[in-house]
Structures are given as C-alpha cells and as structure tokens.
Amino acid sequence: MTKRILSGMQPTNNLHLGNYLGALKNWVALQEQDFEAFYMVADLHAITAPYDETKLAQASREVAAAYIAAGVDINKSCVFVQSAVRLHSDLNWLFSSIAQLGKLDRMTQFKEKSGKNSERAPLGLYAYPVLMAADIMLYHATHVPVGDDQRQHLELTRDIASSFNHKYKTEFFPVPEAVIVGAATRVMSLRDGTKKMSKSEESDNSRINMTDDADTIASKIKKAKTDPEPLPDTAEALKARPEADNLVNIYAALSEETKAAVLARFAGKQFSAFKPALADLTIAKLAPINTRYRELLNDTAELDNILRKGAEKARAVGVPILEKTYDIMGFWRGARGG
Ligand code: TRP
C-alpha cells in the first residue's frame, strides 16, 4: 500500500521558530522519503476557537505560504486549505456516528481549551478530534506527523478507524500511525526555558517569528534570558539550565548537529560569544525562508492558484474514498456525489 502522510496546522497568528524546527522541517524531510504527503491548512479547526473572520482567509494563505517557503514542494506534496475540500466535513459527520462520547470526554485538550466555561464551549471544540480523524482517513493516510499535544487525538483517530472497520466488517480504513515529530527539538520560550515557544505568549520577545527580519532576530536573541555561567562541556550539564539548554538546542537543530557537537565548540564560552553566533545562524537559516514567504504573499493570485490546484488534487484522492464510505455504510446510492 502507498505510504501516505497527512498533517496540518491551524491558521492562527504567525508561525514561529518552534513550528519550523518542531514540525515543518520534519514535513520537508518526510516528503523526501517514500511518502505521498498531504499538508493542509486546518481552517475548519481554527473556527472552534474565537477568531477574526476578516482575517481568516489571509491567515490561511500565510500558513500555506510558510509551508511552501519552509521547503514543502508543491510538485511532490499536496498543499491545500481544508475548507476548500468539503469532503472533510462530510466524512466528519459520518464518523460522528462512530466516535463515542466516553472517549471524547477523555480528551485533555478539550478540557484545557474549554476551561471552566465548558457549558459555553461550542460543539465544534468538542468534536474537533472527530474532524481530525476525517482529515486523516479521507486520504487513507497511514502516517501522521504530529506534535506531542496531538498524540491523544491520533489515538482517537486510530480508534475510529478500527471501530468503523469492525462495525462494517471491512478493512477499508488503514489504522494510521502517529509520527511524533520534533520531540528532540522542542523549542522553548526565549523568556522562560521551561515554557514552550508559543504564538499566544504575550511578549513578542519570547519567540522568533518566521517573518522576523535580521535585526529583530538578533535583538531577540541578544535579549534572551540566560544565566551567568559559561557554556558547559556536556549536554548533561545543561539539564538544570533550561534557558541555556534551549539556546544550545536551537543552535543544534538549525545546524543539524548534536548538542554535544555544539558544546564541543562553545564549552567555556560566555553567552556574549554564543548569542551572536546563534543569531547569525538563525538569520542565515531563516532569511531564504523569509524571502520566499514574502514573494509568495506578494502574489496572492498565484498563491491562490497553487492552493486551488492543491484542493483539486486532494479532492481527486478523497472523492472515491468518501463515496466508498457511503457505499459501505449502506446509504441509498441513486444520486452519487451529492
Ligand atoms: N489539530 C492539529 C493542531 O492544532 C491540526 C490538525 C487538524 C491536524 N487536522 C489534522 C494535524 C490532521 C494532523 C492531522 O496541531
């Protein structure tokens, strides 16, 4: 069977270095392997949280542009916007008859996101992982690169796939495997080495955005929190120093070396020496991505064309799978295609 990947990110705010090193860089690496990849912009998921409808479409373009700028090759992989392929919503409904409430009740992300006010949380936030299952299974994806925070949702997808197969006595849906990416490259906040770098943290100095220019990157790294000690000579010794560990980790991820190799060069040096080297490296790696990102966004018509083609490609794979699902479930088939 074809090895197929599906993954996505939500079009909320700007992507940052954590998204790049923790996810996108891996997506690019995976497309070079023996996979057919589908990378979507998860806009249907984004509407489950408060959002600005005047900015949603552009945010989707921005995230798609970031995928491509980071190296996702539109000739190899399918890049598209989820809402442009209505089949996702359709399969979501079919799967909502499979997904069990008891299992949805256990989803920690819903609990975190709905908080104390879960009575007022929208149904969509609760049903979110069912839509994820539909995203994945619409393409018979076999591998799903996700961050640790989505692991539980992936488990539910696997559960829905096997429950469907069992209920309808079929092997139609492959049970997809999570490819946990970015575990080694969890990028932490520049202000607090124990917190993940995040688009929702208030201080912009806590993160490096994929759109930051060279001066901004240099200034943010200069201001990054550190401790007064020089860099140690073993990765082990970084464990008790989260901020130092984070900066060395970022350096290692960008230069594609181990932390030990980085420390071999910088052991005994002060941050006043390490930070400029890290800034130079970050700027060198992000600059071409930045340039390509801006080019893509400067030509909206062309970008929209790319995304239209992506949606067509996705539909061509998804339609027969959705149609077959209706068959298996025993629907009246007198008017195929809806
Ligand atoms: N929920 C994912 C996130 O916020 C995005 C997403 C939506 C996704 N559908 C998916 C990821 C399907 C993997 C597979 O990160």
pLDDT top residue among 181 and 128: 128
Alpha carbon of 148 to ligand 1 centroid (Å): 11
Q: Which residues 6+ apart lie within 8 Å of 239 measured at CB?
A: 245
- Using H for helix, E for strand and C for coil, what is the string for 27-92? HHHHHCCCCEEEEEECHHHHCCCCCCCCCHHHHHHHHHHHHHHHCCCCCCCEEEEHHHCCHHHHHH
Q: Please count the residues of the chain.
A: 338
SS3 at position 245: helix
Which of 15, 113, 132 to probe ligand 1 with, by most ligand atoms within 8 A of CB?
132
pLDDT the model gives residue 13: 67
For residue 123, the one-letter residue type is: L
End-to-end, the C-alpha distance of the chain in Å comes to 29
pTM score > 0.85 for this model?
yes
- Ligand 1 pocket residues where CB is under 6 Å: 6-10, 42, 45, 132, 135-136, 144, 146, 150
Query: pLDDT band at residue 1, thresholds of 50, 70 and 90?
Result: low
Among the listed ranges 107-111, 184-188, 277-281, which one has the minimum average pLDDT value? 184-188
pLDDT at 336 over 80: no
**Strand-strand pairing, 36-41 and 78-81:** parallel
Q: What are the tokens at 11?
A: 């079009």
pLDDT at 310 over 90: yes
